[in-house]
Amino acid sequence: MLFDDDKKQVPFIDELRFIREIVDELQKKTPHFEFKLVLTGLKIVGQSHITKMLRHIKEGASSEDKRLAELIAGFDMVNEEDFTPEISAFAQDIVSFKNDITIDDQQMPCFFHCGETHDRNSHNLHDAITLGTKRIGHGFQLFLFPHLQDLVKERDICIESCPLSNMVLGYTKDLRTHPINYLMTRGVQFSISSDDPGLFGYEGVTLDYVYATGAWELSIRDLK
């Protein structure tokens, strides 16, 4: 969020214009540079905040300035799953906006952060797949649900695996037993990603790749 000199929040469409200017400037030096926004709601803040983020997406995606509209990629929600409402608590609002927002000639895409838990009773993965998520951030819990693994493969959903984060936060003590090591044998697509580098104090994905390559015995072909 941006604020003006009077500490008032800048309208979202003006934020988009500011971002567009920065992207344009970067593309002068690096023409192949691309940038997209996945607007992310904080579940811990509550329903009104989630609705506000969805309204921002609608405002940006429906802008008459197509160069602003093309910055919007879709929607996500975050926060620790064991202590915040499940995706289902916001599903009605999400479905309503999905039906009302078009991005790249399709309903509003979702890229849900979910499955970062050991709780078998958490249904965030089920809800995310039902809502048509394109990717799943973490998806650690997926190994518990073989039927969901089949749906993930069938719908071509990529799991954004964050090995170092999972180890630092205690979801796994040894990367050799990380669920991705099993899921990739089942043909589940995944990426090796970083998570909260600002908090953990490292940059990029090199360290994640180094650890994952050794622990999961990845070949050059696997990495490609």
Active site residues: 116, 138
Separation between Cα atoms, residue 102 and residue 74, nearest integer Å: 10
The Cα angle at residue 76 between residues 99 and 223, in degrees rounded to 5: 120
Check if the beta carbon of residue 143 is closer than 8 Å to that of residue 137: no
Which are the contacts of 44, defined by CB distance < 8 A and separation ≥ 6?
79, 83, 84
Check if the beta carbon of residue 82 is closer than 8 Å to that of residue 123: no
Please, what is the end-to-end C-alpha distance for the chain in angstroms? 37
Residue 122 token pair: 């958490």
Separation between Cα atoms, residue 65 and residue 77, nearest integer Å: 26
Cα separations (Å) of 77 from 53, 55, 72? 10, 14, 15
DSSP state of 203: -
